[in-house]
Structure 1
């Protein structure tokens, strides 16, 4: 496939598809690159080794800002300026009436009972909650506050992390009746937008291929959990 370039005053610019930095980050890279590079030139004779490192770093940052392309970002899967997102969709049939399934899910602190990627969900009030996410292999955890943004009893629950959270996430669960009596189709959509920067892009690159299966497994766990609760209820009677 031919490479498309743009030309301004006879100089070619990089393919727009290669730009993976937004302008605020590009400005910071240029300013920082100039400062670091000048510092290296200033101390070239007194600290030559350190100065060479500074000049190299300054040149990299300057090029990063001017071209809008970060090689580190590209290596972890960020190839454009769109926010890095991890998006998961999963569905499952649960052998329970729709209102019962909704009621169980609406009590958000029930979610870690079957969602292995959640460390905890602490209910703060009727709308607010504090979530803690386990990353794969338990290398770290992320926490944030969220609130329910839409609640149609028995039909839909939607939530979103609050402004200022170190991770932006949204979620929606729809509960749908099926032709089979007392059986509910549960549709789950969850998105995570990690912190900006290389670390955030790396987190998304790490968890994206794993999270789809993880959440699908969690939704299947939900089905098993609800079925098991019915068996336990029958035994206790």
Structure 2
């Protein structure tokens, strides 16, 4: 008898489909892709949770988020840049909210990109907090849609890694580092 149990995180498990793995993570909805990314941030769980839970803050470090409109304590409307000049919109409903520990959501109203996910905040001792974002989604146009999103650097797996890195920078230093000059810097050079 072969034992194929897998104790790896659901996003990396080898013996199940993305749907089965998402169910293991407590995620629901339509989807065919499960991703997870983590970063350790030198701040307390409570600080990071409070900042993240104030959803308009997410546009400060999430490169593709144009805006998040909070409708009530559990519902928000997201407007995100898509490939090319397109935008993708959806409503999200909070499905779990444990202060200082986790926030989970699921998209509603038949969005362009069906998605659900969870952000967890775990103590990392003196190093701060491990923040893990797990996202389960279904891209429009299936494989071709995913390929186009990757070409335009808009694929959620790519964005999650970059966004968590920017979240770390913002929470540890108060700003997101960039190699680009700001408008103010250009004006000072001209003057």
- Fold conserved (TM > 0.5)? yes
1:205 aligns with 2:147: yes
Higher relative contact order (CA 8 A, sep 6+): 2
Give unmatched runs, 5+ long, in structure 2. Answer: 1-29, 176-191
Evaluate the alpha carbon distance shift between residue 86 and residue 135 of structure 1 in structure 2; reply closer, same or farther with a 3 A threshold: farther
Give unmatched runs, 5+ long, in structure 1. Answer: 1-82, 231-237
Evaluate the alpha carbon distance shift between residue 208 and residue 87 of structure 1 in structure 2; reply closer, same or farther with a 3 A threshold: farther
Cα distance in 1 between the residues matched to 2:171 and 2:69? 21
**Shift of residue 141, structure 1, vs aligned partner:** 0.9
**Which of 113, 122, 127 is residue 176 of structure 1 equivalent to?**
122
**Shift of residue 204, structure 1, vs aligned partner:** 2.1
Q: Report Cα offsets for 1:74-127 as digits up to 9, x if no partner.
A: xxxxxxxxx763433111111111111100001111111101122211111100
Q: 8 Å contact 1:128–1:145 — kept in the other structure?
A: yes
Aligned counterparts, 1:46-61, within 5 A: none
In structure 1, the residue corresponding to 2:67 is in which secondary structure?
A: strand
Cα distance in 2 between the residues matched to 1:110 and 1:91? 19
Match of 2:65 in 1: 118
Evaluate the alpha carbon distance shift between residue 227 and residue 96 of structure 1 in structure 2; reply closer, same or farther with a 3 A threshold: same
Cα distance in 2 between the residues matched to 1:109 and 1:87? 25
Q: 8 Å contact 2:31–2:114 — kept in the other structure?
A: no
What's the TM-score, normalizing by structure 2?
Answer: 0.67
Evaluate the alpha carbon distance shift between residue 217 and residue 189 of structure 1 in structure 2; reply closer, same or farther with a 3 A threshold: same
Q: 8 Å contact 1:84–1:201 — kept in the other structure?
A: no
Moved over 3 A (4+): 83-87
Give aligned pairs, total.
Answer: 143
Q: 8 Å contact 2:64–2:81 — kept in the other structure?
A: yes
Select the structure of larger CA radius of gyration.
1
Match of 1:192 in 2: 137
Cα distance in 1 between the residues matched to 2:73 and 2:107? 15
In structure 2, the residue corresponding to 1:180 is in which secondary structure?
A: helix
Q: 8 Å contact 2:139–2:146 — kept in the other structure?
A: yes
Q: 8 Å contact 1:86–1:208 — kept in the other structure?
A: no
Evaluate the alpha carbon distance shift between residue 187 and residue 84 of structure 1 in structure 2; reply closer, same or farther with a 3 A threshold: closer
Q: Report Cα offsets for 1:177-227 as digits up to 9, x if no partner.
A: 01216x1110011232134xxx35422232257432322011000000111
Superposition RMSD on alpha carbons, in Å? Answer: 2.1
Return the structure number with greater helix share.
1
Return the structure number with greater strand share.
2
**Which of 214, 226, 234 is residue 159 of structure 2 equivalent to?**
214
